[in-house]
């Protein structure tokens, strides 16, 4: 027992055991605190709930705990509501943007593996929801192996019906479009294969359809362009449905373009002071002028050297732009439009034409951004594909004579014409 707490003792005997005076009331033994007056007065006086003089925090902490709990419940409920709403949109395809994608399904995949593939292709947003839904609907049999054209605006049922249906090769056509092909040539190929009408496809390319890609915001709005998306239809091999909507067809070209023109190419464009459209326009000219990838960088250097000296070389004077006017623009228009002709003709316009003259491949686009280091301002070719480069016009005239001697079919960049 502590030293300051003790039982009072009288003559060495506990007070509880001391003899009582006869007739006096008996006292109950008391527990006495042995403390001095100074010590007593120094003890801080608290309130009814404490002895340290501080107000208790239990009440405040209780309210704080309630607020945190309520906030957490509201957050969870809100998140669950958002997840449920977006999950429903994903399941039905309602309210989702139009995004076409070709999905490759391997042999004997699991439902979850298919869901992950669909998620990577941005056909669905919720692979887990898709997996659960497919199992609930009883889709446990084997998926059909192959490549399937799908769209993000399709419902889960539509997607599953496509993936489980046997592939009808008679309804799918595979077409290859080479580098340098024009939009008009693409349209003609699509119509011949039964994919869609050439006129409908070209109408989509010249219309105001927005496919939701960031690069579309970089495209200039110019009424002198023949087709808005000329130059952006990436040349490659594609699978189409017979009778597919022209918007869906165009989307496949643009989606491929979006994946091929990477951030490092955009960085290079900015470093050079080029816009995306300027890079594609120059790339389209290089694609048509060069006979192969080996000559692209040198051909590019000629045009860059001219662009860098506008006072001496205001015009690029590329024959292939004249070919585009005569072979593509004039047949496409119902009436003469000399202003449009001149906007594309690099013997008439200053610098680059108003837009691309074909759809270049990735090599030509890169050549436009990475030209060779030369001092050439002229070039001419012969029918054998040989290139003759020159720094001065006098040298160029000599090269023209050489090319004519080798071939009667000559085209190129000629500042003298």
Examine the fold and report which residue of 167, 194, 212 is the final residue of a domain before the chain moves on: 167
Q: What is the pLDDT of residue 98?
A: 67
Distance, in Å, from the CA atom of 352 to the CA atom of 303, rounded to the nearest integer, reads: 9
Examine the fold and report which residue of 167, 200, 217 is the final residue of a domain before the chain moves on: 167
Distance, in Å, from the CA atom of 127 to the CA atom of 118, rounded to the nearest integer, reads: 7
Q: What is the pLDDT of residue 156?
A: 82
Q: What is the pLDDT of residue 150?
A: 84
Q: What is the pLDDT of residue 60?
A: 59
Share of the chain residues as helix, strand and coil, in percent rounded to the nearest 5: 45, 10, 45
Q: What is the pLDDT of residue 170?
A: 60
The verdict on residue 70 lying in a domain is no
**In 156-292, which ranges are continuous DSSP H helix?**
156-164, 183-192, 198-206, 246-260, 263-272, 276-289
The verdict on residue 224 lying in a domain is no
Q: For residue 156, what is the domain's CATH number?
A: 3.30.1490.480
**Per-residue pLDDT tens listing for the chain (417 residues):** 444 444 334 334 444 444 444 444 444 444 444 545 554 445 454 444 444 555 555 555 667 766 666 666 665 555 454 444 455 655 555 555 667 788 888 877 888 888 898 889 888 888 888 888 888 877 766 677 777 878 888 888 878 877 876 555 568 899 999 999 999 999 999 999 999 999 999 999 887 778 888 999 999 988 899 999 999 999 999 988 898 889 889 989 998 999 999 999 999 999 999 999 999 999 999 999 998 999 999 999 999 999 999 999 999 999 999 999 999 999 999 899 999 999 999 999 999 999 999 999 999 999 999 999 999 999 999 988 899 999 999 999 999 999 998 876 555 555 443
Q: What is the pLDDT of residue 18?
A: 43
Longest C-alpha distance within the chain, in Å?
156
The verdict on residue 52 lying in a domain is no
The partner residues of 387 in beta bridges, in order of sequence, read 381
Q: Which domain holds residue 15?
A: 9-41
The verdict on residue 396 lying in a domain is no
The verdict on residue 119 lying in a domain is yes
Q: pTM higher than 0.75 for the full model?
A: no
Which tokens go with 414? Answer: 């000629």
The partner residues of 105 in beta bridges, in order of sequence, read 146
244 three-class SS: coil
The verdict on residue 115 lying in a domain is yes
For the chain, the domain total comes to 2
Angle at alpha carbon of residue 161, lines to 160 and 163, rounded to 5°: 60
Burial of 210 (0-12, 13-18, 19+ CB in 10 A): exposed
The verdict on residue 68 lying in a domain is no
The verdict on residue 161 lying in a domain is yes
């Amino acid at each position: 027992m502590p030293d300051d707490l003790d039982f009072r003792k009288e003559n060495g005997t506990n007070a509880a055991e001391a003899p009582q005076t006869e007739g006096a009331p008996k006292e109950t033994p008391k527990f006495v605190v042995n403390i001095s007056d100074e010590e007593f007065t120094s003890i801080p006086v608290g309130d009814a709930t404490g002895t340290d003089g501080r107000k208790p925090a239990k009440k405040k902490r209780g309210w704080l705990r309630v607020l945190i709990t309520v906030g957490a419940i509201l957050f969870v409920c809100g998140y669950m509501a958002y997840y449920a709403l977006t999950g429903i949109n994903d399941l039905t395809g309602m309210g989702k943007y139009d995004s076409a994608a070709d999905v490759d399904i391997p042999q004997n995949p699991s439902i979850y593996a298919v869901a992950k593939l669909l998620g990577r292709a941005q056909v669905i947003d919720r692979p887990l929801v898709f997996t659960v839904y497919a199992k609930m609907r009883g889709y446990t049999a084997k998926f059909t192996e192959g490549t399937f054209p799908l769209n993000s605006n399709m419902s889960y049922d539509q997607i599953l019906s496509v993936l489980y249906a046997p592939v009808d090769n008679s309804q799918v056509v595979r077409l290859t479009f080479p580098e340098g092909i024009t939009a008009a040539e693409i349209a003609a190929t699509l119509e011949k294969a039964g994919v869609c009408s050439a006129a409908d496809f070209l109408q989509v390319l010249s219309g105001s359809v927005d496919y939701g890609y960031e690069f579309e915001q970089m495209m200039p709005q110019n009424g002198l362009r023949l087709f808005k998306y000329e130059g952006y239809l990436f040349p490659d091999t594609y699978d189409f449905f017979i009778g597919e909507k022209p918007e869906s067809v165009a989307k496949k070209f643009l989606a491929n373009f979006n994946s091929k023109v990477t951030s490092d190419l955009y960085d290079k464009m900015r470093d050079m002071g080029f816009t995306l459209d300027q890079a594609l326009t120059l790339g389209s000219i290089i694609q048509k002028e060069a006979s192969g990838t080996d000559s692209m960088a040198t051909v590019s250097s000629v045009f860059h050297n001219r662009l860098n000296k506008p006072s001496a070389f205001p015009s690029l004077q590329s024959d292939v732009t004249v070919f585009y006017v005569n072979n593509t623009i004039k047949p496409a228009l119902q009436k003469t439009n000399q202003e449009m002709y001149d906007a594309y003709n690099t013997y008439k316009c200053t610098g680059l034409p108003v837009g691309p003259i074909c759809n270049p491949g990735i090599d030509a686009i890169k050549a436009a951004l990475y030209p060779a280091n030369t001092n050439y301002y002229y070039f001419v070719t012969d029918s054998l594909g040989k290139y003759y480069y020159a720094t001065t016009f006098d040298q160029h005239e000599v090269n023209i004579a050489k090319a004519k001697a080798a071939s009667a079919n000559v085209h190129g960049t000629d500042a003298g014409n």
